[in-house]
Amino acid sequence: MNLESTLRVKRDAGKKLLVPYVTGGLGAAWLDVVRAVALAGADAIEIGIPFSDPVMDGRTIQEASQRALDIGATPAGIAADLSRLDIDVPLVVMTYYNPVQHAGHERFAAQLVAGGVDAAIVPDLPLDELDGWGDAADAAGIETVLLAGPTTGDERLQRICERTRGFLYGVALMGVTGERDHLAGQAKVMGQRCKAATDKPVLLGLGISTPAQAAEAADAADGVIVGSALVRRLLEGGGPEEAGAFVASLRAGLDADSVSG
Amino acid sequence: MSAPVRGDEVRLGPPGPPPQARGRFGEFGGRFVPETLIPALEELEAEFRTAWTSPEFRSEFAGLLSGYAGRPTPVTECRRLSEILGVRVLLKREDLTHTGSHKINNVLGQALLTRRMGKQRVIAETGAGQHGVATATAAALFGLECIVFMGAVDVERQALNVFRMELLGAKVIPVNSGSATLKDAINDALRDWVASVETTHYCIGSVVGPHPYPWIVREFQRVVGDEAREQCRGMLGGKDPDYVVACVGGGSNAIGTFAGFLDTDARLVGVEAAGLGLESGKHGASMSRGVPGVLHGARSLFLQDEDGQILEAHSISAGLDYPGVGPEHAALAASGRATYASADDEEALSGFQLLSRSEGIVPALEPAHALGWLQREAGNSVPLGSTVLVTLSGRGDKDAMQVAERLTGEPLE
Ligand SMILES: Cc1ncc(COP(=O)(O)O)c(C=O)c1O
């Protein structure tokens, strides 16, 4: 089953979806972190392939990316690491377009396939510039997830919904990744707009930092993506255990909420 | 048409060609940005398309260029320098504009666009601080809130410009990430813009960034080349110079200059920063040593490693310390219409002193690269007796301290 089918089945069974983000190559134990996140109830896992100039990322993920690069993380190395994983959770890489085009579309897609990756998010490759990569990814069976933002108009949202694969990434705030004290006002509106526009799974991401925020956001969509709040724990020295515990708390928040209605 | 003279009204030449579909210059350009920014770029493009053919907009822009920025700027015949180098040197004097560099041309145009779009806040990146100062100036003039992102390294080496920006009412935000220079300042400006785009205009300072910026900035800078062409023809009995030379950071003064000479027989030469030498790996020569890539919204040439990670640039001049170049330059190089060379830190320092002593004009370190290149190439690849127009994109006051330290080995008291 591909990513979209997997997410659909779970959603249709009444489950709220949880997709945590882990920076690839961040420390020797990073694959153990991924395993722990999977065990703690992730429905899919986003793996960041670090880029030197991550303009969609706030401080936390910038720092994690830099640390990973400093200790030698590369796209090929991360893909090779991932191929050693023995988990049953779909993987979605998130990176920027320069490393993708630098490797070459076909070669990059083939690396992901070899790493057992299901899908890719490339936030600086909008709909209008998608063609080369989009076609190569489709051909290789890599699902390219598109983002829709609070500023995206209805007509464009429709086109994004049609072209996205795997799920639709609803950008839950105006800004870059990073923890926030409160869920942005735009988050719910975004969730509702996206849900009204497509039957594909809709996940909200950006600024969702706590179990309560995750549950609140998931009310308006099919689920959430949580990045900086997890990565900060890793930067502060947390290992697989702490990552697993945090993801389990997010899982519990989402499950309690979907049970209570 | 008679050649423009200082004190005249500015007469803008006709608009130049827009890029091809999807903001392309050949295979370069485009719009590689997060989804959230797309509507703002579409709005900006539409606004510029209308404004740039509107007689009211053009006359207001021209009025600001003359009445506020002090255009037209002269072309100066350099008699002593010509004698030393054995080539006839003409300087397009952007150093004489208000705020001391060509950056003001672009910024006044973008400030007018900001007002048309009803936005109240502008953000900008700056390297040398000249674009930051120009943006802060225009923001003061138009009553806009102004935030300038500047690499922490540049805050250090261009301290005078930091004070100027603050004096003008702007807030300067030092950027510590990455190499803490221009590239990183652009990253943080983009991050701000993703959050603030509904109320804020991003006033990009060079012909870089996503479509429509490379086009807009070229059009606002083409006045440099359009004026210079007429002025050169006035001085050269109707002829064009043999060479037209400008320094290239992102490439705005060069593209503005080249725009006026594309249809002539003049050879167009862009000079990049070779830093500590092209072989040292510490340079800003993205045209000679870069490969195609995508950064800051556009496909162009960038310094990058084998995995597509962007490399840090190095140059003695903050304004050329950038690992990329505007997409139209990449296209001009690919078509062969322009060629790109480089000058290293030492050659720039040499050009800096040469112009100061021979002509009494202290250049900024950026155009000092173009002068250093000419000093090296006159009598070599540039035949003796050639006529060479060099765009003096800015004045050197901002660099005086840094050069003094470099030359004496001690900080100035
Ligand atoms: C005087 C001067 N010249 C040139 C540049 C480089 O910019 P560009 O290549 O866009 O002209 C700068 C940038 O700060 C500058 O201040």
Q: Which pair of tokens denotes residue B43?
A: 């709005």
Nearest-CA residue for ligand 1 atom 5 is B319
From the CA of B182, give the closest atom in ligand 1: 14
Nearest CA in chain A to B197: A174
Each residue of A137-184: pLDDT tens digit?
Answer: 999 999 999 999 999 999 999 999 999 999 999 999 999 999 999 999
pLDDT at A261 over 50: no
Q: How confident is the model at residue B179 (pLDDT cuts 50, 70, 90)?
A: confident
Shortest CB distance from B310 goes to which of A52, A76, A156? A52
Q: What's the confidence (pLDDT) of residue A197?
A: 98
For B40, nearest residue in chain A (alpha carbons): A151
Q: Could you say which of B32, B194, B308 has the minimum Cβ distance to residue A175?
A: B194
Q: How is residue B55 written in tokens?
A: 């007689």
The whole-number average pLDDT for the span B310-314 is 94
Question: Given pLDDT bands bounded at 50, 70 and 90, which one contains residue A126?
Answer: very high
Tens of pLDDT along A177-201? Answer: 999 999 999 999 999 999 999 999 9
Q: Which of A53, A160, A176 sits opposite B194 (nearest CB)?
A: A176
Query: Which single residue is written with the structure tokens 């049609």?
Result: A162
Return the residue whose CA atom lies nearest to atom 13 of ligand 1. B319
Q: Given this model, what pLDDT does residue B128 score? A: 85
CA-B95 nearest atom, ligand 1: 1
Residue B211 has pLDDT above 50, yes or no: yes
Q: What is the predicted ipTM? A: 0.96
The predicted-structure confidence for B330-349, as pLDDT tens digits, reads as follows 999 999 999 999 999 999 99
Cβ–Cβ gap B309/A69 under 8 Å: yes
B178 to A128: CB separation less than 8 angstroms, yes or no: no
| pTM (two decimals) | 0.97
pLDDT at residue B182 tops 60:
yes
The pLDDT confidence band at residue B1, using thresholds 50, 70 and 90, is: low
Amino acid letter at A186? Answer: Q
Closest alpha carbon to B361 in B88, B47, B90: B90
> CA A165 from chain center: how many Å?
13
Known catalytic membership, residue A43? no
Fold of A3-255: TIM Barrel (3.20.20)
The residue nearest atom 12 of ligand 1, judged by CA position, is B319
Chain-chain contact of A102 with B177 (C-beta, under 8 angstroms): no
Sheet containing B298-302: which strands, arranged edge to edge? B24-25, B28-29, B298-302, B291-295
Q: Cβ–Cβ of B191/A97 closer than 8 Å?
A: no
Tell me the average pLDDT of chain B: 96
One-letter amino acid identity for A211? P
- Predicted pLDDT of residue A158: 98
CB-based contact, B211 to chain A, within 8 Å:
no
The answer to whether B250 and B393 have CB atoms below 8 angstroms apart is no
Q: What is the DSSP string of B196-216?
A: HTTTEEE---SS-SSTTHHHH
> Both tokens of residue A72?
């030698």
Listed in sequence order, the residues at least 6 apart from B137 whose beta carbon sits closer than 8 Å to its beta carbon are B98, B99, B104, B107, B168
Nearest CA to A209 out of A190, A181, A185, A237 is that of A181
- In sign, the C-alpha dihedral spanning B305, B312, B369, B74 is positive
Given a cut of 90, whether residue B413 has pLDDT beyond it is no
* Contact of B27 with B300, CB cutoff 8 Å: no
Cβ-in-10-Å burial (0-12, 13-18, 19+) of B169 comes to middle
Pocket of ligand 1, beta carbon within 6 A: B 101, 127-128, 130-131, 206, 247-254, 319-320, 364, 366-367, 393-394
Q: Do A151 and B309 touch (CB under 8 A)?
A: no
Q: How far is the CA of B3 from the centre of ligand 1 (A)?
A: 25
List the single residue in B with minimal CA-CA distance to A54: B187
Q: Is B309 in CB contact (< 8 Å) with chain A?
A: yes
- Ligand 1 centroid–CA A36 distance in Å is 50
For residues B51 and B115, is the Cβ–Cβ distance under 8 A?
A: no
What is the token pair recorded at A1?
A: 């089953």
Place of tokens 């989009």: A134
